[in-house]
């Protein structure tokens, strides 16, 4: 049984993938997509260049922002339900 060779992938390589080869999205291709939110690029930079402590801090900030947004949406939904049922006076 012969060992299988694993091809080395250069993340900065912008050459196109030949038919029959696996598809790899390069760094330049990924950053060119306009529908990727900026926060994804921020996370990618943190994963590549930052410490685990900075990653945890970043994740905690995002979690706090999302939980505040969800709480506000919940309060808005309760107010809408109350106004539809006639509990809240105009």
pTM: 0.52
- pLDDT tens-digit readout, 43-83: 888 998 989 999 999 999 999 999 999 999 999 999 998 88
Domain spans of the chain, in order of start: 27-85
pLDDT of residue 5: 47
Cα angle value 80/84/87 (rounded, 5°): 95
- pLDDT 10s digits, 73-89: 999 999 998 888 887 55
């Amino acid at each position: 049984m012969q060992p299988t060779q694993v091809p080395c992938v250069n993340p900065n390589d912008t050459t196109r993938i030949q038919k029959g080869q696996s598809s790899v999205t390069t760094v330049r291709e990924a950053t060119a997509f306009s529908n990727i939110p900026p926060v994804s690029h921020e996370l990618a930079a943190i994963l590549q260049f930052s410490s685990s402590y900075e990653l945890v801090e970043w994740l905690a900030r995002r979690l706090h922002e999302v939980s505040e947004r969800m709480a506000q949406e919940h309060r808005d939904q309760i107010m809408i339900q109350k106004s539809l049922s006639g509990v809240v006076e105009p």
